[in-house]
Amino acid sequence: MKPISRRTMLRTLGAAVALPALEVMNPLPAWGGPAQTGPLNRVAWFYFPNGIPRGIWHPEEVGSQGELRRLNPWMSPLEPFKSDLLIPTNIWTPKGNGHGAGTATWLTGQDYDRRRVDAGGVSVDQLIAEEVGGQTLLPSLELACKGEGFFSNSLPRNAISWSKNGMPLPREIEPRAVFDRMFRPLSGGVTDRSVMDLVLSQARSLRRKVGHTDGHRLDEYFEAIRALEKRIEFAESQTRDKRQDRALTDSLTRPDPGIPSEHQEYLQLMMDMIVLAFWSDATRVVTYMLDHGQSNRYFNFVNGVKGTWHALSHYGNASGTTEDDDGTTSWDSVESKREMFAEVVRWHHRQFAYLLRKLKSIEEPQGGTLLDNSMLLYGSSLGDGDAHDEKDLPTLIAGGGGGTIRTGRQLTFSGRADLSGVHLAFMERMGIERERFGTGKGAIGGLSG
C-alpha cells in the first residue's frame, strides 16, 4: 500500500478538505517536515471572565498522592473526566490582573500598558504557532463568543492573543466562518453546496486505497463534517425564526445573523470547530474566549439564575443597586446570589465537558485519543470574582499532552505558582525551549508526575 502525506487534501471545484491522521500516513513526514514518530500534540487555552466564588474549584476528596477521588458538586459536570484532569492550586499572575489588564495579559505574563495598548509581548499561543504553524493549514485559530454588555467593544477585554508586532489578533466569532476557513475556498468556487458533495468522488477513490481501519476513520470524519454543516444550517434557521418572535424579552440581546440564538448551541458549535480543527490537523494551536473579560451576559436561561454574569460575580452585595448591577435585578440574600454565580460557573463546566467527551471519543492511529494528545488550559484571570484578586486563579489542565502530562490528580503548590510557568511547560511540550517567559523563570514542575 503506497503511503500518503499528512499534507494530502481532497480538492474539487475550489473546495479543500484536510484529512485526519491515518495509519497509511505514518511512514511519511508531516506536511513536508520531520518524520512523525509519535502522536501529534495540540494545545488550546479556554478563557472565561469574572472569576469564581472562592471555594467551588478544588476537589472534594483527594487521595494521599493527590489522586482525584471526587470533585466538588459545582464541578460535577467534569466528574466523568476526572482521570483526564490536572487541577493545580495557588496559580497566580504577578503583574496582570482584573477584567481588562488581566484578560489582555493572561497569555503574555506581562503588564498591560493602556496608553500604548500593549500587552507586553507576544502571547504564548503565537510563539508556539510560529514554531509549529508551518506544518498545518492554519498556524492557529483565535476564537471567541460574541460579547455582551457595556464592555463588549473594550479592546483589552477582548484580546488574549498578541502578535510579535504587539497587535491583538482578531477573533472569529461565527461557527460557519470558522468552518469555511478550514474547508472552503477563500474566494470563488462553489460555496452553496455541501462540502461532502464536492469531494465525495475523490473520497471514494481514496477509500479504495486505504485499509479497513483507515476507511472507517475516513467515514467517521466525513460524517462529522456533514453533521456539522447540518447543525450550522439548523442553528441559522432557528435564529432567523426567533428574530421574528416579538415576545422575547428586551433584556436578552438577540444574536446577529450568523450567531446561533441558543447560547449553549453557540458554545457547543464552537467547541465542535475546535475538535474538527485538531482532528483534521488544520491547526494545532487554538485560543477560545468563552466571553469578553467583563461579560454582562444574562444567564436567566439557566434554571434558578437571574442577572448578568458580571453582576453575579460581585455577590457580596445583593441589593441590586451597585454600579455593577443592571438597576432592575436584586437578590434575596448574598448566599443566593453567590449560589447563582456558582451555577453559571457550573454551566460552563458542562460545556467544557462536552468538548472533553468529543475529544476523548476520537481514537488516533499513533495511539491514544485526541484528548490524550492535547493540552487544554481552562481558566480565568480573576480568582474570587467579588474580591478581584489574583490569588489561586481557577485553573484546570485537561489532556495528556501526548503522554507528557500525568492527569487524574490535584497538583498542590505550597507557595504561589506563576501561570507563566505553566505556559513555559506547554511550550516545552510543543518543542520550544525557553528559560523565561513573562514573569516565569522556568517551566512549572509536576505536570509529568
Domain count, the chain: 1
**CA torsion sign, 334 to 340 to 346 to 351?**
negative
Q: Looking up cell 457595556, which residue turns up?
A: 150
* Range(s) of the domain holding residue 269: 43-188+265-429
- Contact in structure between 437 and 427 (CB atoms under 8 Å): yes
Element (H, E) at 348: helix 334-360
Predicted confidence at residue 241, as pLDDT, reads: 52
Predicted confidence at residue 8, as pLDDT, reads: 57
Least confident of 104-118, 226-240, 264-278: 226-240
- What digits encode the pLDDT tens for the residues 187-205? 444 445 555 566 556 666 6
AA identity, residue 147: G
AA identity, residue 229: E
pTM of the model: 0.83
Alpha-carbon gap, residue 430 to 446, rounded angstroms? 17
Q: Looking up cell 493602556, which residue turns up?
A: 114
- What digits encode the pLDDT tens for the residues 67-117? 999 999 999 999 999 999 999 999 999 987 789 999 999 999 999 998 888
Q: Looking up cell 478581584, which residue turns up?
A: 388
Q: Evaluate if residue 249 carries a pLDDT over 50.
A: no
| Residue 35 located in a structural domain | no
Alpha-carbon gap, residue 157 to 117, rounded angstroms? 11
| Residue 256 located in a structural domain | no
**What mean pLDDT is reported for the chain?**
85
Please give the share of the chain, as a percent, with pLDDT higher than 90: 61
| Residue 128 located in a structural domain | yes
Q: Which residue has the higher pLDDT, 115 or 34?
A: 115
- What digits encode the pLDDT tens for the residues 160-170? 999 988 899 99
| Residue 30 located in a structural domain | no
Q: Looking at residues 400-407, what average pLDDT do you find?
A: 96
| Residue 17 located in a structural domain | no
Alpha-carbon gap, residue 6 to 29, rounded angstroms? 7
Predicted confidence at residue 33, as pLDDT, reads: 41
Q: Evaluate if residue 341 carries a pLDDT over 70.
A: yes
| Residue 168 located in a structural domain | yes
Q: Looking at residues 267-291, what average pLDDT do you find?
A: 93
- Contact in structure between 302 and 344 (CB atoms under 8 Å): yes
Q: Evaluate if residue 388 carries a pLDDT over 50.
A: yes
| Residue 233 located in a structural domain | no
**pLDDT band with cut points at 50, 70 and 90 for residue 32:** very low
Residue 79 belongs to a domain with what CATH number?
Answer: 3.40.720
